[in-house]
Chain A
């Protein structure tokens, strides 16, 4: 018996999961019949009837706001349903509290890691379920067990390390290992690969398949179609809170799923505006700084320059260096032909550089402040006369961005934290549209964003190009940079290792250059 199974058995024994609560592989383990959720008069989820089978990987796709998160919250007991019935192993259940969901073996791994950064990996994995002897924690035993599980899963992670010393992707793997250890019957992954590198995703996929082979039901929520086709056995599509269909993966294709989700074809998503390249906006020569070395590249007006690479390859670091957030240690920057030094962000903004950073939560938004304030933050100086802000102008500016970008909110006073991922990204973009710039740097602009919003963001790129701006597009999602960039630079280990014109190289070549094998 592997160490993972051993531990999950231990947890099941403690939780007292009854043997009768099992169903044979392929039989429905969780059935939703007319499950519905209303907030006031609004239906967040229209009656949904769907069964999840024991031992299947069931993907759920849909745009932001389609009802996916509502469904997860219902299944994990975070919110209570308005109507409908839920059957667990054939018996009706309440599923009214998170504790009830967990005790039945329903667990979720969330997109954002919710662990304690200051504790060790092992301590996090055993958090709330520590091994004790005579009231004292068995630290060494837990670390050994955690390491055994990590090794068993093929994650090359040290159980004794502090969690915060790991990358976000590695932390996500720890969260997954923790959930897998808890003897689950039913596990929900909510966009788990959003912050993972390719190798980390591959490790995660191996774990998911292994869980399925052990008879666990996996619900897999993702925006990435290629993952759905790689992993899932069946896929359900949600649109506007309605369950529009469930397909066997072998009987459908990407185009059909996208059509179900948004009624739009894939060509229309990666719509590339053809704008003739103009003057050089910025040129770097041998630029070096923390995390990047000897980067030389050029961005012209009307051009998208793509930076592709794995997370940590130095792309974001290069962007932060160019933006003045990180010190540049060597090399030169030429702005419109003139040599400049950019010691801080305010100088960069004054030149005409805008940066929509990688992490909305950590760098992009003041989450507990209103949307309007977030949008106006870079331009408050322009919106002030003397000491005070012209409130009318500030309101108009915010309302204009909300309307132009179709940010779905009842009011500009709503806090940014209340928005979905796609709408939050629009707020970040709105900040910089109202500020205006000649060079826009978009760092992972479509992470955690649904297909419809992606298409809107790409269309916006076209608008910016037509107005004479240049764009640096940083992405770990190859199809995105591949289809959109006029020139594609590949980063590895902090260096620019290869450059290609639009669609000049194959996906495989670019990948090989990024991974370096």
Chain B
């Protein structure tokens, strides 16, 4: 009687495949590191490793926020623009003499507000996520340029700019920020009911609604988290380069989406994790870093990234199909 259900189409349990994908990505990352270690002496130098971790950290945080949105079957194209915009905001606040703590909180709140605006556009105005976040992408760059009058704002606050160069326990502080974001994100997505609601909304909005899930609130939550992660990265970037500039972080939204997809997130929604996008971000950072060290033309880096996305997602598709 149970013949059909037990054998014909039972896919491997989700839990197992999640771990499997994580291990595969980790293996790929380690393999890249070993290979680059052989290819060039400079790779394993402490300087370079710190540099790599700093490069990857910001994309990684963006990718985690982006993943929440993609799991609900949405997309957030505005994150790169938010990074640039909030770097302007924090620079502007600091130069206006606002205390550091207040500047940071205000900047993060602006991230919350932008995310809430996205939620409003999607839930109340019925706009597709692609459209509303595309609109903020271009307008935020414009507002940032208006504020700075097209130039940049230098940050003279020493403590703020020193932070990104600092180490703690021999590890760059920027990488600690990944852990600071990653652990609560993991608890939120994988251990809390709100995480389950993201998956449910991404899988079937109507079924989630009829099961008592507050779908509107869940969508607000996803976009607010993504925009807040982006505002946080804006702070880190401002600290790293010491200026606020609305045109910074061009194309980072695509990096974030790429990291998320490499990390096993499905653009159709309801499939994703926290560790996947983190690994995806550092795989991308490693490829860029390695290409620099090997003097590969930077144009090639873009091509390699594109090919990597195709290869990894293709193998993921094969694996999913194979388990059917």
Q: Which residues of A contact B (CB under 8 A)?
A: 39-40, 42-44, 63-67, 69-70, 240-241, 323, 325, 345-346, 349, 355, 357, 362-370, 373, 376-378, 380-381, 383-384, 387-389, 391, 408-411, 413-415, 417-420, 423, 431
Contacts and interface: CB of A to CB of B under 8 A. Distances in A.
Contacts of A66: 1
Interface centre among B5, B7, B11, B211, by most chain A C-beta atoms within 10 angstroms, is: B211
B200 interface: yes
B12 to A, nearest CB: 9
B82 interface: no
Given A349-B212, A384-B193, A362 B5 contact: no
B210 A408 contact: no
B199 A365 contact: no
Nearest to A409: B5
B187 to A, nearest CB: 7
B6 A363 contact: no
A92 B9 CA distance: 29
Contacts of A388: 187, 191-192
Interface in B233-271: 270-271
A367 B203 contact: yes
Contacts of A415: 11, 14
15 contacts: A42-B7, A241-B3, A362-B207, A364-B207, A365-B204, A366-B207, A373-B200, A378-B212, A383-B193, A389-B196, A408-B1, A409-B10, A413-B14, A414-B11, A420-B5
A365 B203 CA distance: 9
A345 B7 CA distance: 37
A39 B200 CA distance: 31
A414 B208 CA distance: 19
A413 B13 contact: yes
A365 B212 CA distance: 13
B210 A67 contact: no
B204 A345 contact: no
B196 A418 contact: no
Interface residues of B, number: 38
A380 B207 CA distance: 15
B206 A423 contact: no
A31 B16 CA distance: 43
Interface in B1-48: 1-11, 13-16
B7 to A, nearest CB: 4
Contacts of A373: 196, 199-200
A42 B6 contact: yes
Given A349-B212, A366-B199, A381 B193 contact: yes
A408 B11 contact: no
B177 interface: no
Interface centre among A66, A355, A415, by most chain B C-beta atoms within 10 angstroms, is: A415
A67 B4 contact: yes
A377 B213 contact: yes
A418 B5 contact: yes
Given A325-B209, A367-B204, A369-B270, A408 B13 contact: no
B124 to A, nearest CB: 15
A369 B4 contact: no
Contacts of B151: none
A313 to B, nearest CB: 21
Given A373-B200, A377-B208, A240 B1 contact: yes
B271 A345 contact: no
Contacts of A408: 1-2, 5-6
Given A40-B7, A373-B199, A408-B2, A368 B211 contact: no
Nearest to A45: B3
B7 A39 contact: yes
Given A70-B4, A363-B206, A365-B207, 12 more contacts: A44-B8, A346-B212, A368-B203, A368-B270, A369-B199, A384-B192, A387-B192, A408-B2, A418-B5, A418-B10, A419-B5, A420-B5
